[in-house]
Structure 1
Amino acid sequence: MEQGTARITVCFEDPFWVCLFEREQGGRLEVSRTVFGAEPRDQEVYLWLLEHWRGLRFSPPVAVPERDRRPNARRKRREAGEALRARGTGTKAQQALQLQREQEKTQRREDRRRRDQAEEARRFQLRQEKKKARHRGR
């Protein structure tokens, strides 16, 4: 069975608090972004995660290079502190979210184009029926 890792990052993106859910499995990274209103407490994030984890829409997977070695425990702790202090999101997470937004945008465009074509076909059919009715004198 393949192991994976998950990471939750809560950060402030003016004017809202945002929670990034990152999951990595088999060298692939997927990201989901959720907006909270006020600053969430740890318990609120945990409970929200338990209730909504299955409903999260993750971005398409992005390749992540494998790490060669384990970092020193002190370095790991220092980097975790830096990550908490740093503003914004990780570059890979931003790329994954951008990819998801672009795919949703193209999907919306396709749906809109199909709806417009169907509406135009309906109008054309209505005009044709009116022409026939006028031609018949009704």
Structure 2
Amino acid sequence: MKMTVYFDGAFWAALVEWQSGKTYLVYRHVFGKEPKNHEVWNFIHQDLQGLMTRQERLIGQVSSSAIIPKKKKRTNPKRMQREISKSKNQPVLSTKAQLELQKTHEALKKERKTDKRQRKEEEKANKFARKQAKRHQKHCGH
């Protein structure tokens, strides 16, 4: 495991890199202002283990979803040309750590999206139940 604390221009951050089995994992933690020694020590001893297990779980979800092949829809040639030109103009990610950070960011985004969808469904069910209860209460009379 390797941890690098650096200043990215606006905030102090720590980049933690480790090998878990055959997978290479990366986590970026933002401290904000310049961290004191005890803050870094507390991060290592209190928060780091939980974050590492979370990253491993996320990577496990990404790799299991990558096993199922998806049918590729045929794209319009003009759209394909636009996507190619757009990808040419994007900056190339230079390091392995940046690629891994991008993967974990996408996995977190997917996880947040599913959690939000589930919360919305639960809220909709609760709202319907309240509405039904109110309707039954009105129907009962005085």
4+ residue runs over 6 A deviation: none
Query: CA RMSD of the aligned region, Å?
Result: 3.0
Structure 2 vs 1, CA of residues 90 and 17 (structure 1 numbering), >3 Å: closer, same or farther?
farther
Answering whether residue 45 of structure 2 is matched by residue 51 of structure 1, we say yes
Answering whether residue 2 of structure 2 is matched by residue 7 of structure 1, we say yes
Answering whether residue 138 of structure 2 is matched by residue 134 of structure 1, we say yes
Structure 1: which amino acid aligns with 2:13?
A: V
Q: Identify which of 98, 105, 124 aligns with 2:102.
A: 98
> For 1:128 and 1:46, how far apart are their aligned partners in 2?
53
Offset of 1:20 from its aligned partner?
0.5
1:51-70 alignment runs, 5 A limit: 51-52=45-46, 53-57=48-52, 58=55, 60=59
- 2:32 aligned residue: 37
Structure 2: gaps of 5 or more residues: 63-92
Structure 2 vs 1, CA of residues 50 and 9 (structure 1 numbering), >3 Å: closer, same or farther?
closer
Count of residues paired in the alignment: 106
Higher helix share: 2
Structure 2 vs 1, CA of residues 130 and 27 (structure 1 numbering), >3 Å: closer, same or farther?
closer
> For 1:9 and 1:22, how far apart are their aligned partners in 2?
9
Structure 1: gaps of 5 or more residues: 1-5, 63-88
Q: Identify which of 15, 35, 39 aligns with 1:20.
A: 15
Which is higher, the Rg of structure 1 or of structure 2? 1
Offset of 1:132 from its aligned partner?
2.3
Sequence identity, in percent? 35
Higher strand share: 1
